[in-house]
Amino acid sequence: MKRAFLQGGLFGVLLAAVTPLAQAQDFPSKPISLVHGLAVGGQVDTSVRVLAGALSKKLNVPVIVQAKPGAGQAIAITSIVRSAPDGYSIGHFYQGALSTVPLMQPVNYTPEDLAPILAWQMSPQVLAVRADAPYRNLAELVPAAKASPGLTFGHNGKGSVTFLAPTLFASVAGVSLQDVPFKGEAETIAALLGGHIQLGSLTQVAAAPLLEAGRIRILVTFAKVRSPELPTVPTFEEQGFKVPIQVPVGMLFAPKGTPEPILKRLHDAVKEIIEDERMKKEFAALKQVIYYMDAQAITELIATERKTYMPILKEAGLIK
């Protein structure tokens, strides 16, 4: 009896060890859901769909993009955290949703609830106004904001870079700006061009074609150095403002507990895509900046930004 019990227990241990390996060997055998936290029709949505198409060809299964906007990507992240850890539900998120958003609003997750796969792109941000706005740079915006407190700026959710950069700038400059959250930058752009808000916090990718078309003016780039894509747009520091900078990095995650072989399969497939010369040209046409980080680097970046921004947000009065 004892021997049978031991044999049964040993079989259970072996089965538990073999099952994830068998899952990984068969992976993928059905469609994969790729979730992101911004609105349909924006540049992030477009770029993620291009990646999904390439990943579908690479893995020989459909990769279906689902946009779940709102709450600074928290809605989308929660959906992935609650998914089965089998590799068939993955998410594209920016690190602010895991480092700074949880500092500023209640969320149903921690960074440890997700398994990082890799980072694949970077999205530099800018602050833009309509082309007919009365200010051409921050030196002209500041006195206007002091004369008319409460100028509005659109963003993708509290805690996101699109919220943090203008808010921290306002704190440094001693002005009052009123934030207006949207589900994605397509909505922000529509509100800006329609005159419903005065300022738009946008990705460089979305802003560049609007600038070329003469529809907007860009006041500042949220980066430490000028962007090669927008060489005439100065940084905060060049205009005399020391604003902490967080550059959004697009990362892929799976639920915690996803078997390592499956994570590696996804990592390797996406890495091959972003290293492919034809795909590089396709992403370049979308003005996407390809940027690779492995899982360990992602974990370290999120932890570092959380530690860095907590005292900054407290000093600015954004958190207690």
Q: Where are the domains of the chain?
A: 30-122+248-314, 125-246
CATH among 3.40.718.10, 3.20.130.10, 3.40.50.970, 3.40.190.150 for 30-122+248-314:
3.40.190.150
100 class by beta-carbon count within 10 Å (0-12 exposed, 13-18 middle, 19+ buried)? buried
Helices 260-275 + 43-59 axis angle, to 10: 110
Count CB neighbours of 112 within 10 A. 10
Peptide bond preceding 28: is omega within 30 degrees of 0, i.e. cis? Answer: yes
Prediction pTM value? 0.84
Alpha carbon dihedral 170, 171, 176, 181, in 10-degree steps, equals 70
From first to last of its 320 residues, the chain has per-residue pLDDT tens of 555 544 555 555 555 555 555 667 789 999 999 999 998 988 889 999 999 999 999 999 999 999 999 888 999 999 999 999 999 999 999 999 999 999 988 999 999 999 999 999 998 899 999 999 999 999 999 999 999 999 999 998 888 889 999 999 999 999 999 999 998 888 999 999 999 999 999 998 889 999 999 999 999 999 888 888 889 999 999 999 999 888 899 999 999 999 999 999 999 999 999 999 999 999 988 878 899 999 999 999 999 999 988 998 888 888 87
**Is the fold of 30-122+248-314 the same as that of 125-246?**
yes
CA angle (306 as vertex; 300, 310 as ends), nearest 5:
155
Q: Looking at the chain, which runs of residues are DSSP E strands?
A: 32-36, 63-67, 89-94, 114-122, 125-130, 151-155, 177-181, 199-203, 216-222, 249-255, 289-293
Candidate CATH numbers 3.40.190.10, 3.30.420.40, 3.40.50.300, 3.40.50.1820; the one for domain 125-246: 3.40.190.10
- Partnered with residue 67 across adjacent β-strands are 36
